[in-house]
Amino acid sequence: MARFLVKRLFSAALTLFAVSVLSFLMFFALPRDPVTGMCPKNCNPERLERVRQELGLRDPLISQYAGYMKGIVTGRDLGSAQGGRCDAPCLGWSYVSNEAVSDTIARVLPVTLSIVVPAAVLWLLLGVGLGMVSALRRGTWLDRAAIGFSLAGASLQLYFVGAVLLLVFVYTLHWLPVPSYTPLSDDPLRWAGGLVLAWLALAFLFSAIYARLSRAQMLETLSEDFVRTARAKGLSRRTVYGRHALRAAITPVVTIAGLDVGGALGGTVITETTFGLGGMGRTAVDAVRAGDLPTIMATVLIAAVFVVLANVLVDLLYAAIDPRVRLR
C-alpha cells in the first residue's frame, strides 16, 4: 500500500510539473505581448522596457521559470513596482488588479470551495441514493420518477435552473436572500443561506449523471454471483445491498466523482456567474478577458492541482475499495 501511494504521488508530482511548464510557456506562446496588458495607460517605450525588466522578461526562459517556481515554494522579491516582497506561495503580481495574485486567490478560492464542496456532498448522496433506490425498485413508479428526474437534470442547463430557483425562492417567495458569499467562520447561517441555491442547482444537474450511473452499476452488480452468495448465506437484504452490492457498484462512481469534483474546484464559471458569486471561475474568465497573465497562470495551475489531487484521491479510494488494485 505504501509503495502504491508513493508511486501515485510521484506521478502526480510529474503531472503538476508538466502543467506548470506548459502554463508558463503560455506567457510566450500567446500572440499578445504579455507586457501591454500590464501597462495599460501612458505606455511609452521606456516604461514598457521598465516593466519588462521588472518582470524579468529579459532573462532566459529557464531562469524565469525557476524564479516563478522559487516564488511558489519560498517566496521572492518582485521589486517595488510589484509590491516588493512576495511571500510564498508567490504567484506573481497582477497589474490589472494591482495586487499580488496570491491575495486574489486567497479571496476567491474560499468562495469556490464553499460552493463546490457542499454541492458535491449533496449531489453524491442524492445521485447515488436515487440510483440505488431505482435499481432496487426497478420498474416501479419510484424508478420511473427517478429516471425522469435524472433526465431533467441531464438535459437542463445550469443558468436556466439557477434562474428559476432565484425567481422562485429569492424574488417571489423571498425565502432566501440574494446569493452572496459570507465566510463560514463569520456566520455559518448566512454562509449557507447565501449559497444554498447554488448547491441545489449544481446538485440537481450533477446528481442526474450519478443517479443513472449508479442505477446501471447497481443493476449489473445485483446479477453478480457474489450477491446471490451473500443472500444464500442468509444475510439480510440491507446487508446484501448496502454492503456487498453497493461496494462493488460504487467504483465507477468514485472515478467520475473525482474528475467532477476536481474540475469543479478549479472554478464553476456558470454557477458563479448565475448567482453573482466571485469564485475561481469568474476570476479566471476575467483574467483571460483582461489579458492578466499572472492571474491566468495561477488559476490554471490551481485547477490542475485540484484535478491531479482528486485523481490521486480516487486512486487511493480505489485501492481501499478493491484489493486487486493494490497489486498493480
Partner 1 sequence: MDSPQAAPPGPPDAGPAVPEPRGGDDPYLRVDDLRVRFDTADGVVRAVDGVSFTVPRGRTLGVVGESGSGKSVTALAVLGLHDPRRGTVTGTISVGGRQLVGLPEDRVRRLRGRDVAMIFQDPLSALHPYYSVGRQIAEAYRVHHPRAGRRAARARAVDMLDRVGIPQPARRYDQYPHEFSGGMRQRAMIAMALVNDPALVIADEPTTALDVTVQAQILDLLADLQAEFRTAIVLITHDLGVVAQVADDVLVMYAGRVVERGSVTQVLRRPQHPYTWGLLSSVPSLHGDPDADLVPIPGNPPSLIDLPAGCAFHPRCRYAGDRSRAEVPQLVPAGADGHLVACHLPTDDRARLATVPLGERRLP
Residue ranges that bind partner 1, judged by CB under 8 A: 224-226, 228-236, 239, 244, 247-248, 321-324
Q: Quick one: 63 or 229, whose CB is closer to partner 1?
A: 229
Could you tell me which of 31, 112, 87 has the C-alpha nearest to residue 293?
Answer: 31
Q: Pick the closer one to partner 1 by CB: 47 or 237.
A: 237
Q: How far is the CB of 11 from partner 1 (least distance, A)?
A: 24
Write down the least CB distance from residue 245 to partner 1, Å.
Answer: 9
CB of 103 or CB of 143, closer to partner 1: 143
CB nearer partner 1, residue 182 or residue 255: 255
Question: Nearest approach, Cβ of 3 to partner 1 (angstroms)?
Answer: 17
First-residue to last-residue Cα distance in the chain = 10
When the beta carbons of 217 and 283 are compared against partner 1, the nearer one is 217
**CB-based burial label for 124 (10 Å; 0-12, 13-18, 19+):** buried
Q: Which is nearer to partner 1, 1 or 189 (CB)?
A: 1
Our measurement of the distance from residue 136's CA atom to the centroid of its chain's CA atoms, rounded to an integer in Å, reads 32
Residue 227 C-beta: closest distance to partner 1, Å: 8
CA gap 119, 200 in Å, rounded: 7
Least spacing, CB of residue 156 vs partner 1, in Å = 33
* 32 vs 326 by CB, closer to partner 1: 326
CB of 135 to partner 1, least distance (A): 13
Indicate the residue type of 186.
D
* Closer residue to partner 1, CB minimum distance, 186 or 225: 225
Residue 95 or 318: the one with the smaller Cβ distance to partner 1 is 318
Secondary structure (H, E, C), the chain: CHHHHHHHHHHHHHHHHHHHHHHHHHHHHCCCCCCHHHCCCCCCHHHHHHHHHHHCCCCCHHHHHHHHHHHHHHCEECCHHHCCEECCCCCCEECCCCEEHHHHHHHHHHHHHHHHHHHHHHHHHHHHHHHHHHHHCCCCHHHHHHHHHHHHHHHCCHHHHHHHHHHHHHHHCCCCCCCCCCCCCCCHHHHHHHHHHHHHHHHHHHHHHHHHHHHHHHHHHHCCHHHHHHHHCCCCHHHHHHHHHHHHHCHHHHHHHHHHHHHHHCCCHHHHHHCCCCCHHHHHHHHHHHCCHHHHHHHHHHHHHHHHHHHHHHHHHHHHHCHHHHHC
Tell me the closest approach of the beta carbon of residue 256 to partner 1, in angstroms.
19
Least distance (Å) between residue 321 CB and partner 1: 6
- To the nearest whole angstrom, how small is the minimum distance from the Cβ of residue 229 to partner 1? 5
